[in-house]
Structure 1
Amino acid sequence: MTTLPAQPADTLPGAPVADPETGAAVKAADRKHVFHSWSAQEVIDPLAVAGAEGSYFWDYDGNRYLDFSSQLVNTNIGHQHPKVVEAIQRQAAKLATFAPAFAIDVRSEAARLIAELTPGDLDKIFFTNGGAEAVENAVRMARLHTGRPKVLSAYRSYHGATAAAINLTGDPRRWASDTASAGVVHFWGPYLYRSQFHAADEAEECRRALEHLEQLIAFEGPQSIAAILLETVVGTAGVLVPPDGYLAGVRELCDRYGIVFILDEVMAGFGRTGRWFAADHWDAVPDLLTFAKGVNSGYVPLGGVAISERIAATFATRPYPGGLTYSGHPLACASAVATINAMREERIVENAAFIGETVLGPGLRAIAERHPSVGEVRGMGVFWALDLVKDKITRQPLVPYNAAGADNTPMAEFTAACKRSGLWPFVNMNRTHVVPPCTITEAEAKEGLELLDQALAVADRHTVAAAG
C-alpha cells in the first residue's frame, strides 16, 4: 500500500491523515451493527474508509488506494467532484425532498438532459432509486404493453437483486432466490473466447448466437414473450463486448415477433464505454433503456427507465401501476444535472474514450503478452476485463466457476497483492476488471497498469507455465 506522510489538516481539505484510533472505532461500529450484502458476516473484514477524491480513496491509517473499481463501477465522475457536491448542497438548502406526483424544476431538468442523450425516441423518463428497480419497472412496462408473461435474458448477466431482477440475472447470485416460476428464460449470448457455439470468429459467433436466440423464441412461443433483456456490454459477468451485428439482429427478432427490446445500461451507460451510452457504438435503439450508477456516480441513489414513444403511449390514458416514494428525488436529480453538465463541460466521456484507446487498451494487451495468467483482454473506454487462466492453450480458468474457499486461493492472493500495492481492483470469479473513473488521468491510468502488472506475478504462480 502507498503510505502517505501525515499532513496538517488545513493543507488540503480531505487529505489522508493517519488516525488509527478513529478508524478502529468506525470498524468496531460496523462490525457490531452493519449487515453487509453478499457476505458471510463473520468472515468479512471491511476497510474503514476515511475519505476520497478523484481517482483515489484512503483509510484511517493513511494508506491511499487507486480506485480501479470505481467502487461498484459507478463513480464515473470520480470521488467528491466539487460541482456535484455543491449542487447537492444547494438543492438541499432549496428543496430537500418532494413527492414524485409534483412537477419539480430539477426533476424536469434531469429528465430533459437524460432524454437528450438517450438513443432514438426514448424521451420519457421514469425515475427509480437504482438499477434493480429500473429493471423491475422496465419488465413490468413490457409485460403490460404486450400482455405477455415471459422475459428472455442471458446467462452471463447481472440485472439486480430485487425479486424480478435477481431471477433475470444469469450469474450464481440468482440461485438462492430462483423460484423457477418468474417467467424468465435464459439464453447464451455471444462470447467468442468461451463460445457455446463452437465459432471460429466474431462473425460466426454473432450468427450462431442469433440463430440460438431465434430457436429459443420459437420453442418458447413468440406469442408468450414480452421482452428480451440484454446488458449492452455485459458488465460484472466479464465485460463482454457484443460482436458487430448482434444488437441489430436482436432488434430485428424483437420487431419480427412483437417483443419489447430492453437494454440494461446501468453499468455501461454515462461514459463508461467512451460514449454516453454503449448502444451508441452500434446505433442500437431499444424500446426501453435502464440506467443508474453513472447518471450521477451514485452520489445520491438514482436510476431510471428511458421509455420510447410507443411504450409510453400504452399508459397515456391507462394508469401505470408502479411508483416509488423517492422517485425523482430532488437531491438525486440535482446531482444528475450537475454530473451531466460537468461531463459535457469537462469532456469526461471523451476522456474515457481517449484513455481506453491510448492507455488502457494498449497497456493491457502488453501486460497479457508478459503474463501466462492472462488469457484474454477485452473492453472499451474505461470498461475492461482480463480473463485469468491456468493455461493459455486450453483456456482453463484460473479458478473454477463460482469458486469459494480454498478453490479461490489464486484469485484471493492476486486481490491481496493488488491491495498491498495501493491498487483497489474489481474482481469477479476468474476475472479482474479494469474500471477506473471516467475522469482518470493518463498518469493515473499508467500507475494503475504498473501496479496491476506487478500483482499479476502472483496469479502467474498458479499457471501451468509456472508448474512446468
Structure 2
Amino acid sequence: MTVACHDDSRLSIGCVDNLSRKGPERRQAADVAAAPAPLTLGGMTPQPNPEVGTAVKAADRAHVFHSWSAQELIDPLAVAGAQGSYFWDYDGRRYLDFASGLVYTNIGYQHPAVVAAIQEQAARMTTFAPAFAVEARSEAARLIAERTPGDLDRIFFTNGGADAVEHALRMARLHTGRPKVLSAYRSYHGGTQQAVNVTGDPRRWASDTGTAGVVHFWAPFLYRSRFYAETEEQECARALEHLETTIAFEGPSTIAAIILETIPGTAGIMPPPAGYLAGVRELCDRHGILLVLDEVMAGFGRTGTWFAAGLYDVVPDLLTFAKGVNSGYVPLGGVAISGAVAETFARRPYPGGLTYSGHPLACAAAVATINVMEEEGIVGNAAALGASVVGPGLRALAERHPCVGEVRGVGMFWALELVRDRETREPLVPYNATGEANAPMAAFAAAAKEAGIWPFVNMNRTHVVPPCNVSEAELKEGLAALDAALTVADGHVA
C-alpha cells in the first residue's frame, strides 16, 4: 500500500528560535528556513525528518496548554501525518491507532471523500450564522435523523459532545420543570461545568461543589458488582432495584432526567445486561423523567450499529452525539430531540445557542462521512470483524495472559480488564493511580507503542477501539502487538 502525505505533514517551520519570534521577524525567518522535504510514505514506511519534529515539539512545549495534564510532566509525541488506521512521527515510526484518536476516527484518517467534501464546502461557503437554513446543515440533520431511533427527528447542533450534554440536560430541565439529574458513577460525559458534574469518574472531583443538582448511582457491571450479584440476571434486577430506590428517596417529582452512556466508554466499555436499559426506560416513563442516552463515543458505527441504542431496542427522549458523526475531521456534536421535547419549544424560545451551531464545514464533513459509511459498509464491517476477529482474538489473548481478568465489548468497542490476581480481581493498578503506583500500566503502554500500536489506556484497562473500517490484516497486526505488550503486564501479576 502506497500512501501520499497531505499538506498537514509539510510544515514550514524553522529552528526553535524562529518559533519564539513575533510578527514580521518570525515570518521572514520562517520563509528563509522554510520546509524541508515533505514526508512521504512508501509502502507505509515514513521517511524521517527529526529536525522538524524537534521544532514542533519545542513550539508545543512553549505555548500549548494540554487537557487533563500537569504541564511540566508530559511529553507529547510530535505527529507528522496520518492515513487510514495509521499515524507516524518525525522519526519515521508509524503506529497502528488502536485508540482512533480519542475514539472518534471511525472512518480512519484522511478519507479522501471527506477531505474533498470539506474542500468543496470551503470553496463554496466556509461559514454562516446558525439562524439561517444552509444546505450542508439541513442535509446533515436529515441524514442523522434518518438513523436515530424512534422519533428523534430534530437535531440541535453543538461544537462537541460536552456541550451536547449541557444542552440536553438544559432541555430536560426546562421540559419537565424539575431540577435534578441522575447519572452513573462509572461514566464520562464531558469537561464543561454541567457535563463534568454529571460525569462519575475522578475527573469530576476538582469541579464538583455539590451544587449542580446531580445525584450519582451505581449502574450494572457484573465483573465488579456493587450488588453481590453472581449472574447477569441478578446484576440487572438488583441494579434496577437500586435505581428505583434512589429515585424514591430523591423524590421522583424533583428529577428531570436520567443520563446514561448507552455503553459506557472511557469508564470501561461495559455493555449493560439484557433488560437493563428497558427497565430504566420503564422507570422514567412511570415517574415522568426523561431518559437521555449519551452516544458521543458509542454512536455512528462504533458498536456495529448506527447507535448502540439499537442493540437494546430502547428509544430515549434525548440522544447526544459527536466524535464519529464526521470522524472528528471538523468539531461537531449535537442533540437528537424527541417530538414531545421539541413541542415544548414550538412557541416558547429555547434559551440556548452557539455561534458555530451547525457550522457548514463540520456539517459537510458529517454528510460525507455518513455517505461513506453507507457506501463502504463500514457499520457492517465493525460488526462483522468485531465478532469474527476482535472478540475471538482478545479471548485468545486472555487465555495466554494471566494479567487479563475480563474481555468485554462489541463491534469496534472492546476493553481488557488488567488484574494482578484473577481470583481476587485486584486491578493491575489502584483506582485513579498516578506516579509510581501506575508504573505497571505505564510499562504496558510503553511496550504497546514499542510493538507498533497506539493504545487507549485508562486506569487498569486497555481499550481496543480501532477505526470502524479497519481491515482484518490490520486487526491481526494489532492483536499481535497487543500480545507482546501483555507479556510485560504479566510481569506484575501476583
Residues 345-392 of structure 1 show CA distances to partners (whole Å, capped at 9, x for unaligned) of 000000000110000000000100111100000000000000000000
1:135 aligns with 2:165: yes
2:367 alignment partner in structure 1:
337
Alignment of 1:41 onto 2:36: no
Gaps of 5+ in 1: 1-6
Contact 1:9 1:15 in 2 (8 A): no
Q: In 2, Cα distance between the equivalents of 1:303 and 1:327? A: 9
Q: In the alignment, is residue 267 of structure 1 matched against residue 278 of structure 2?
A: no
Question: Counterparts in 2 of 1:194-209, with a 5 A limit?
Answer: 194-209=224-239
Quick one: which of 295, 305, 308 aligns to 2:325?
295
Instruction: Count how many residue pairs are aligned between Structure 1 and Structure 2.
Output: 458
Choose which of 442, 450, 458 in structure 2 pairs with 1:412. Answer: 442
SS in 2 for 1:445: helix
Q: Could you tell me how far apart the structure 2 residues matched to 1:24 and 1:10 are?
A: 18
* Residue 60 (structure 1) aligns with: 90
Q: Distance in 2 between matches of 1:298 and 1:267?
A: 11
1:97 paired to 2:135: no
Match of 1:153 among 174, 183, 208: 183
Structure 1 residues 9 and 257: alpha-carbon distance in aligned structure 2, compared to 1, 3 A threshold? closer
In 2, distance between residues paired with 1:151 and 1:277? 23
Q: 3-state DSSP class of the match of 2:328? A: coil
CA gap of 1:450–1:117, structure 2 versus 1, over 3 A, is: same
Query: What is the deviation of 1:456?
Result: 0.3
Q: Which residue of 1 aligns with 2:404?
A: 374
Which amino acid is 1:150 matched to? K
1:383 equivalenced with 2:413 (yes/no): yes
Write the distance in 2 (CA, Å) between the matches of 1:42 and 1:313. 50
CA contact (8 A) 2:393 2:479 kept: yes
Secondary structure in 1 aligned to 2:291? strand
Task: Output the CA distance in 2 between the equivalents of 1:331 and 1:301.
Answer: 9
Q: Partner of 1:255: helix, strand, or coil?
A: helix
8 A contact 1:14–1:52 mirrored in 2: no
For the residue of structure 2 that corresponds to 1:448, the secondary structure is helix
Contact 1:69 1:424 in 2 (8 A): yes
1:26-46 per-residue CA deviation (whole Å, 9 max, x = no partner) reads: 000000000000001011000
Q: Secondary structure at the match of 1:61?
A: coil
Quick one: distance in 2 between partners of 1:365 and 1:419? Answer: 21
1:357 corresponds to 2:380: no
**Matching residue of 1:255:** 285
The reply on whether 1:173 has 2:203 as its aligned counterpart is: yes
Q: Distance in 2 between matches of 1:15 and 1:156?
A: 40
Match of 1:4 in 2: none
Percent same amino acid at aligned positions? 75
In 2, the alpha carbon distance for the partners of 1:160 and 1:376 equals: 26
Structure 2: state its 5+ residue gaps: 1-36
The answer on whether the counterparts of 2:40 and 2:46 sit within 8 Å (CA) in structure 1 is no
For the residues of structure 2 that align with 1:344 and 1:156, how far apart are their CA atoms?
Answer: 33
Cα contact 1:376–1:387 (8 A) shared by 2: yes
Deviation at 1:403, TM superposition (A): 0.2
Is residue 2:493 matched to residue 1:463? yes
Matches within 5 A, 1:225-244: 225-244=255-274
1:313 equivalenced with 2:343 (yes/no): yes
Q: TM-score, normalised by structure 1?
A: 0.97
Correspondence list, 1:117-136, <5 A: 117-136=147-166
RMSD: 1.2
The alpha carbon displacement at 1:16 in A equals 1.9
In 2: Cα distance, 1:310 partner to 1:440 partner: 39
Within 2, Cα distance between the matches of 1:403 and 1:148?
37
Aligned mates of 2:258, 2:43 — CA distance in 1: 48
User: Contact between 1:113 and 1:337, CA under 8 Å: does it hold in 2?
Assistant: yes
Query: Residues 313-340 of structure 1, C-alpha deviation per residue, up to 9 Å, x if partnerless?
Result: 0000000000000000000000000000
Q: Normalising by structure 2, what TM-score?
A: 0.92
The answer (yes or no) to whether the contact 2:39–2:48 under 8 Å persists in 1 is no
Structure 2 match to 1:428: 458
One-letter identity of the residue aligned with 1:163: Q
Per-residue CA deviations over 1:110-130 (Å, capped at 9, x if unaligned) read 000000000000000000000
Q: Which amino acid aligns with 2:302?
A: R
Runs of 4+ in 1 over 4 A off after TM superposition: 7-15
- Contact 2:40 2:47 survives alignment (8 Å): no
2:45/2:92 contact within 8 Å kept:
no
Cross-structure match for 1:192: 222
Q: Residue in 1 aligned with 2:428?
A: 398
Query: 1:232 is matched by which residue type in structure 2?
Result: T
Write the letter of the residue equivalent to 1:404: T
* Equivalent-residue separation in structure 1 for 2:55 and 2:365 (angstroms): 31
